[in-house]
């Protein structure tokens, strides 16, 4: 009988259907608020979401806190909150372009980098696995909040304004505004926003232009992302000419009505359950019966996100719910003799008891939803409507209906802000239950745009800005995971994003950021090769990968200076102090000998003093033939050097005078001390007078003898540290340094060597990162202007220094001290730092406590998981992710927990790093994959090699095929190493010649399976 009655009413509603214009009550604006024809005030608040993940119990607790804050406002009629949410996978491409791709392409063009293959692949693949979504509160304040006297005062105010104006016709009736209503509404908006922020929900109040743009895009989905903007009070409005024969009226000079601006296409009903608006056909669905078990909104959104259908929902909470249902309660009591009314009586009794016990008020709750499809695809619309209805009914056991009377009215019920109306059946709900159903309980990104895009597990887009910017002025990242968990690929993705961020745009144009990575192994080699190919042959020198060795061509003098300087800058001196303290430390100890640190400082000063033209000094003599380029410049420019037997310092000064700073820097390498010069410095009277009587108890030597012994040992072990610098990175801006060949492990002596190599690598990569205009005071006047401009340019550049396998420095206080000094100085110099290791405790307390980005890709065991949870004081939801949700790279990508500090707030988010096969192959760090990739690079080139690999192995890895073939070879008796190399050569041959597994390359119509995005190492 009820169904028959609903259909009869629906038919009547269709007969009496109203024009589309009638569904807009908005007449004008007042500040950021909209004003309706009834003088009701309307504001839009964007819900960016929660900063931390939450369990159902957490959501209930936060809803309870909001209930306490808002109960007074919703106790009586007058205020209403509309929770509006929309999700559209089909709009993901537009959204990804807006927040990521447009900017990345523009920066790549400015940098003159060809990343077309990578960016095109992202544009193809990301929209298939990501979806656009948005959530808003629309806050209403009606005239009924005013007292009788205030309503009278408002009416007089509006009448007086209207009398002073001519007839405005079909323009915005701005005299409907009221200062009294504006004040009441502003207080309500402030209370709601404060309540959300107290629950750790990020919010932004929209202005009137943005509010109406949102409403129009919700109504006409095809306009999403357009540049349309309404003309409102205060905007410049072009006068409109009257029609032929029409008399000019004042309205032609005023702002056009909001209705005429919003609606550009009429609606056409298609039966009783569908309506066509613009380019789409909509199917409205209402919640006929509220949930038996109210559940967080995110559970509904996540389920529909996995279904990948477009939909929107509007959940309306109105104050004065008890009074709205008073007649129903009276009727239920009056008809108590009928057993069928027992449930209704008990429900009212339960609400009444909750009010008595907990002062928990009831509100009027209505909910309307809609989905859509192109007008020519009615079958798709029916499937989507069925899916949406089923998901709503599974959301705490609701009941949904697609019979809403007029389908246009039903569809308009889920368009936000144009009117306070809904075709959903009114329910009486506890305020706390109703609030938990609102769309605030989804997680948020602190950034609206980002050159890196991750996704939430439910497919929502999550932009990330690796540059930090004002949201994260100190960027200190730590990556924690066992091997093969995706941390190297994640770090490479972030570095690639840094290269494509707008932060590379400086006052002198776009430049690559300064990036240095200390690596154990070639994990950064793929990233470097990608940049080299993108830069082209003429600029590939801007990104280099170096495998460090102890041999000719790898000489490094740590005592080099800024060109034209005779003494190190303060931070350079601090590094030298730390390095020499580490070099003069016994392998099995971590505490320097008594007085050695003070001695090192004095020896360094003496070593530099002895290389200058001072009494007792011995500047280094210039020798022709050592640097042919320098000799040729001096000869070509007919330079007369200062002294009869010239010094290298004379050559440096002469070249500086010619403006040849690059050659002056080369010449200066021979004018500064080397390691052996420290012995002469340690024998000077100034040093011996102070330290010769200092005896070292552990060795029974005087400190000077001990120091000399250690210096001789360094020269013997590391001869490349005792020569002028030959390892020249030139103008490179992105440098990867592989220490695998010079950083052994095992014995105490080997560990000490590794620690020294980490310090040396830091010096090579980041020596110039810490230059600052303030340091210009320490350089000679002759080069001050040159260095001031240079220091300014370096300071403005984005800089990043990454360390891999940081656990190698665990027992070296000197290396850790240098790193912590860099951490403290980093923000001042615009330097980012990153540290990667297998366990959290490897990082050290100083780095861990100051980190603003903690990326947890996996916990090694339960003990490690507990340490991470306790150290970062994670919520229960985040703790569950660390324990059970981080299982390493898989078919859906590489999940990780991001614990970020941004904008002064803490974020805890589970995200997924999803890359396409081309990008995965380019950044892969797995030995088998990199071996295969490099063989194809050598034979067919970079782009063609990646194309073949991505087509034959669309999951981004050939490891399964390599392991399968390797097992077959082992069974036949081949040695393990030989078997693996043979398999890689075999696969490379097949991909080159198009036979075997490479047959997929011969037929362009044969495609692999739909690419499932991975982020494996």
Mean pLDDT of 474-488: 92
Task: Determine the angle formed by the axes of helices 648-657 and 661-668, rounding to 10 degrees.
Answer: 170
The helix (run of H) or strand (run of E) holding residue 280 is strand 280-289
813-870 pLDDT, tens digit each = 888 888 998 999 888 888 999 999 999 999 999 999 999 999 999 998 899 999 999 9
pLDDT above 70 as % of the chain? 92
In this prediction, residue 1015 has a pLDDT band, given cuts at 50, 70 and 90, of very low
Nearest to 300 by CA among 371, 430, 386, 390: 390
Strand partners, 900: 853, 907
CA-to-CA distance for 334 and 347, rounded, in angstroms? 15
pLDDT(418) > 70: yes
**What is the pLDDT at residue 10?**
44
Q: Is the pLDDT of residue 530 over 90?
A: yes
Tokens representing residue 925 in the block: 């760090």
Q: What's residue 693's pLDDT?
A: 80
- What average pLDDT does the chain have? 87
Question: Quick one: pLDDT at residue 18?
Answer: 66
pLDDT value of residue 248: 65
Tokens of 236: 């410049």
Q: What is the pLDDT confidence band of residue 284, given thresholds at 50, 70 and 90?
A: very high
Question: What is the full DSSP assignment across 584-640?
Answer: TS-TT-SSPPTTHHHHHHHHHHHHHHHTSSSTT--PPBP-TTSSHHHHHHHHHTTPP
Alpha-carbon gap, residue 130 to 151, rounded angstroms? 49
Q: 2 pLDDT exceeds 60?
A: no
The predicted structure's pLDDT at residue 254? 79
* Predicted local confidence at residue 751, as pLDDT: 87
* pLDDT tens sequence across 179-195: 999 999 999 999 999 99
Count of residues in the chain:
1017
Predicted confidence at residue 345, as pLDDT, reads 57
Taking alpha carbons only, the member of 534, 531, 529 closest to residue 514 is 531
Report the pLDDT value the prediction gives residue 699, as an integer from 0 to 100.
74
User: What is the rounded CA–CA span in Å between residue 1017 and residue 490?
Assistant: 9
Per-residue pLDDT of 538-552, as tens digits, reads 999 999 999 999 989
Find out whether 926 and 1016 touch, Cβ atoms under 8 Å: yes
Residue 12: pLDDT band by 50, 70, 90 thresholds?
A: very low
pLDDT tens across 924-962, in order? 888 888 889 999 999 999 999 999 999 999 888 888 888
Model confidence at 353, pLDDT cuts 50, 70, 90, reads low
Could you tell me which residue, 892 or 332, shows the higher pLDDT? 892
Mean per-residue pLDDT for 247-268?
82
Q: What is the pLDDT of residues 370-404, one digit of tens each?
A: 999 999 888 999 999 999 999 999 999 999 998 76
Mean pLDDT, range 129-151, rounded to an integer: 93
- Whole-angstrom Cα distance, residue 800 to residue 819? 13
What pLDDT score does 83 carry? 96
Grade residue 702 by pLDDT with cuts at 50, 70 and 90. Answer: confident
Q: Indicate the pLDDT class of residue 6, thresholds 50, 70 and 90.
A: very low
Q: What is the rounded CA–CA span in Å between residue 478 and residue 750?
A: 25
- The answer, yes or no, to whether residue 675 has pLDDT greater than 70, is yes
SS3 123: helix
Residue 360 confidence (pLDDT): 66
Query: What's the distance, Cα to Cα, between the start and end of the chain in Å?
Result: 63
Q: Is the pLDDT of residue 351 over 90?
A: no
Of 341 and 289, the one with more pLDDT:
289
């Amino acid at each position: 009988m009820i169904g028959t009655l609903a259909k009869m009413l629906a038919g009547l509603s269709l007969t009496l259907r109203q024009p589309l214009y009638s569904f807009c009550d908005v007449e004008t604006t007042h500040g950021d608020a909209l004003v309706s024809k009834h003088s009701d005030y309307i504001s839009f608040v964007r819900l960016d979401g929660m900063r931390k993940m939450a369990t159902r119990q957490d959501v209930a607790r936060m809803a309870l806190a909001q209930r306490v804050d808002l109960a007074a406002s919703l106790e009586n009629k007058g205020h209403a909150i509309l929770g509006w949410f929309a999700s559209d996978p089909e709009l993901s491409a537009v959204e990804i372009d807006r927040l990521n791709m447009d900017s990345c392409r523009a920066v790549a063009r400015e940098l003159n980098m060809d990343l077309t293959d990578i960016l095109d692949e992202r544009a193809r693949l990301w929209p298939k696995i990501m979806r656009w979504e948005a959530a808003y509160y629309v806050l209403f304040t009606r005239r009924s909040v005013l007292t009788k006297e205030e309503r009278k005062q408002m009416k007089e105010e509006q009448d007086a304004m209207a009398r002073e104006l001519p007839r405005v016709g079909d323009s915005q009736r701005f005299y409907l505004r009221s200062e009294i209503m504006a004040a009441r509404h502003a207080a309500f908006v402030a209370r709601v926003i404060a309540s959300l922020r107290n629950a750790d929900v990020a919010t932004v109040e929209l202005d009137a232009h943005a509010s109406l743009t949102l409403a129009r895009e919700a109504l006409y989905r095809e306009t999403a992302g357009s540049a349309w903007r309404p003309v409102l009070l205060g905007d410049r409005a072009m006068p409109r000419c009257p029609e032929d024969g029409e008399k000019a009226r004042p309205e032609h000079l005023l702002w056009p009505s909001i209705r005429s601006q919003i609606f550009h296409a009429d609606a056409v009903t298609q039966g009783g359950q569908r309506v066509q608006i613009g380019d789409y056909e909509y199917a409205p669905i209402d919640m006929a019966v509220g949930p038996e078990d109210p559940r967080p909104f995110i559970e509904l959104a996540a389920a529909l996100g996995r279904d990948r259908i477009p939909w929107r929902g509007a959940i309306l909470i109105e104050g004065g719910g008890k009074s709205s249902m008073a007649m129903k309660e009276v009727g239920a009591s009056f008809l108590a003799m009928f057993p069928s009314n027992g449930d209704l009586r008990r429900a009212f009794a339960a609400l009444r008891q909750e009010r008595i016990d907990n002062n928990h008020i009831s509100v009027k709750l209505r909910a309307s939803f809609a989905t859509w499809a192109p007008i020519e695809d009615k079958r798709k619309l029916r499937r989507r409507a069925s899916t949406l209805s089923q998901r709503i009914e599974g959301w705490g056991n609701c009941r949904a209906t697609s019979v809403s009377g007029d389908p246009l009215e039903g569809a308009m019920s889920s368009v936000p802000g144009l009117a306070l109306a809904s075709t959903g059946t009114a329910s009486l709900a506890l305020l706390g239950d109703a609030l938990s159903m609102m769309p605030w309980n989804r997680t948020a990104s602190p950034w609206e745009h980002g050159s890196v895009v991750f996704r939430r597990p439910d497919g929502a887009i999550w932009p990330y800005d690796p540059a930090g910017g004002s949201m994260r002025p100190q960027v200190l990242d730590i990556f924690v995971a066992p091997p093969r968990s995706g941390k190297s690929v994640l770090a490479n993705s972030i570095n690639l994003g840094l290269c494509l961020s707008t932060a590379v745009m400086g006052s002198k144009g776009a430049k690559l950021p300064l990036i240095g990575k200390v690596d154990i192994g070639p994990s950064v080699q793929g990233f470097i090769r990608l940049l080299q190919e993108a830069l082209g042959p003429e600029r590939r020198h801007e990104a280099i990968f170096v495998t460090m060795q102890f041999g000719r061509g790898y000489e490094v003098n740590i005592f080099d200076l800024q060109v034209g300087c005779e003494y190190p800058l303060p931070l350079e001196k601090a590094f030298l102090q730390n390095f020499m303290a580490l070099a003069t430390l016994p392998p099995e100890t971590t505490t320097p000998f008594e007085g050695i640190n003070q001695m090192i400082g004095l020896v360094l000063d003496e070593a530099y003093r002895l290389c200058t033209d001072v009494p007792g000094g011995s500047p280094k003599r210039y020798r022709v033939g050592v640097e042919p380029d320098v000799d040729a410049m001096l000869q070509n420019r007919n330079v007369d050097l200062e002294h009869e037997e010239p010094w290298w310092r004379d050559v440096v000064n002469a070249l500086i005078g010619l403006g040849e700073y690059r050659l002056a820097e080369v010449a200066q390498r021979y004018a500064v001390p080397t390691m052996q010069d420290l012995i002469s410095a340690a024998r000077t009277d100034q040093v011996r007078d102070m330290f010769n009587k200092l005896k070292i108890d552990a060795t029974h030597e005087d400190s000077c003898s001990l120091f000399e012994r250690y210096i001789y040992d360094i020269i013997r072990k590391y001869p490349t540290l005792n020569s002028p610098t030959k390892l020249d990175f030139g103008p490179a801006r992105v440098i990867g340094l592989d220490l695998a060949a010079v950083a052994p492990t095992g014995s105490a002596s080997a560990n000490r060597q590794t620690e020294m190599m980490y310090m040396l690598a830091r010096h090579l990569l980041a020596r110039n990162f810490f230059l600052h205009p303030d340091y210009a005071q320490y350089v000679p006047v002759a080069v001050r202007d040159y260095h001031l401009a240079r220091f300014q340019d370096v300071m403005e550049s984005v800089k990043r220094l990454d360390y891999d396998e940081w656990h190698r420095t665990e027992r070296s206080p000197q290396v850790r001290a240098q790193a912590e000094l860099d951490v403290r100085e980093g923000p001042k110099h615009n330097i980012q730092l990153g540290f990667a290791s297998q366990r959290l405790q490897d990082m050290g307390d100083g780095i861990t406590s100051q980190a603003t980005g903690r990326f947890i890709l996996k916990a090694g065991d339960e003990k490690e998981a507990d340490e991470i949870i306790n150290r970062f004081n994670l919520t229960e939801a985040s703790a569950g992710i660390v324990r059970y949700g981080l299982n390493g790279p898989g078919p859906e990508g590489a999940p990780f927990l991001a614990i970020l500090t941004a904008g002064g707030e803490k974020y805890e988010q589970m995200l997924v790093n999803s890359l396409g096969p081309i990008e995965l192959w380019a950044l892969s760090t797995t030995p088998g994959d990199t071996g295969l990739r490099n063989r194809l690079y050598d034979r067919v080139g970079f782009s063609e090699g990646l194309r073949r690999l991505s087509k034959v192995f669309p999951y981004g890895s050939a490891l399964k095929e390599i392991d399968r073939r390797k097992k077959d070879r082992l069974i036949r008796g081949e040695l393990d190493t030989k078997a693996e190399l043979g398999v890689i050569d075999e696969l490379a041959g097949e991909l080159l010649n198009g036979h075997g597994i490479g047959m997929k390359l011969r037929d362009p119509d044969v495609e692999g399976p739909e690419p499932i995005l991975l982020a494996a190492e």
